[in-house]
Structure 1
Amino acid sequence: MSIAIRYFSKTGHMKRMADVVSAVTGVEAKDITYPISEPVDTLFLGSAVYYAGIDERMKEFIRSLDGSKVKNVICFSSAALLPSSYPQVRRLLEGHGIRVDEREFHCRGSFSLLHRGHPNDEDLMNLKEFVEGLNLQ
């Protein structure tokens, strides 16, 4: 099974989370400046909510994806206020004919003083367990 990991991170939170996914899967995590050029069975896509929406650069990355090269996307995200970026990401991906797995991982992210320190070690451990539980190998 071929796997790719892409993420967008303004604060470093999503990079930390992508590194956990990388450690479990053995696949290098890359930011969204690296296009998906080879076919992948599963794309782990890490996004965060900024001011109630996903960043425009993430939207551009999603628009650049070729549905014939990406079979399935598993989302992981963090946000201080919204429950998840999943609905926004899913709508965009499905609009390009890309299947989005119903399994997703989300945890609190920090914003100013709100949820300070998140994602924390417990959040990252929960992400590790989530990815291990997918049984993708």
Structure 2
Amino acid sequence: MTYAVRYYTKTGNTKRLAEAIAKELGVEALPISEAIEEPVDILFLGNSYYAFNIDPEVKAFVGSLDKNKVGKIVNFGSAAMLNSTYKKVKAEADKVGIPMDEKEFHCKGEFKGIHKGRPNQDDIDAAVQFVKQYK
């Protein structure tokens, strides 16, 4: 099984999750500005809500993916207010014909003092445990 981890973050919260996930998988966590060059079975994609939607850069990244290089996307992320970005990411993935895994990982993220210290070590440990099912 081959993996890639890409993320988009404005606060650094999702990057922390991405780095823990990548370490567990033995790959490097990279920002979405880094294209998927080699075929992967699973792309772990970290993102969050910004102004009640996924960032346009995330939409563009998913839209640029080659369905012949990405087997499926597993969504993960953190957010202070809203939870899952799954439906928003899936809508973009559907446009390029890449399936989304039905499972995803999400935890609270700190933003302007809300959910201070999140994601915390328990959240990071939970993300690592979530990823183990894909190994």
Give the structure-2-normalised TM-score: 0.95
Q: Which residue of 2 aligns with 1:4?
A: 4
Paired residue total: 135
Q: Which residue of 1 aligns with 2:123?
A: 123
Q: Which residue of 1 aligns with 2:82?
A: 82
Q: Which residue of 1 aligns with 2:45?
A: 45
Counterpart of 1:27 in 2: which secondary structure? coil
Counterpart of 2:37 in 1: which secondary structure? coil
Distance 2:134 2:5 in 1: 16
* Match status 1:91 vs 2:91: yes
Counterpart of 2:54 in 1: which secondary structure? coil
Counterpart of 2:123 in 1: which secondary structure? helix
Unaligned runs of 5+ residues in structure 1 are: none
Q: Which residue of 1 aligns with 2:100?
A: 100
Distance 2:93 2:114 in 1: 30
Counterpart of 2:92 in 1: which secondary structure? helix
Q: What does the per-residue CA deviation read over 1:60-93, in whole Å, with 9 as the maximum and x for residues that have no partner?
A: 1111101111111111111111121111111111
Counterpart of 2:66 in 1: which secondary structure? coil
Distance 1:5 1:67 in 2: 16
Identity rate, percent? 44
Q: Which residue of 1 aligns with 2:15?
A: 15
Unaligned runs of 5+ residues in structure 2 are: none
Distance 1:110 1:84 in 2: 16
Distance 2:125 2:48 in 1: 18
Distance 1:91 1:109 in 2: 23
- 4+ residue runs of structure 1 moved beyond 4 angstroms? none
Q: Which residue of 2 aligns with 1:32?
A: 32
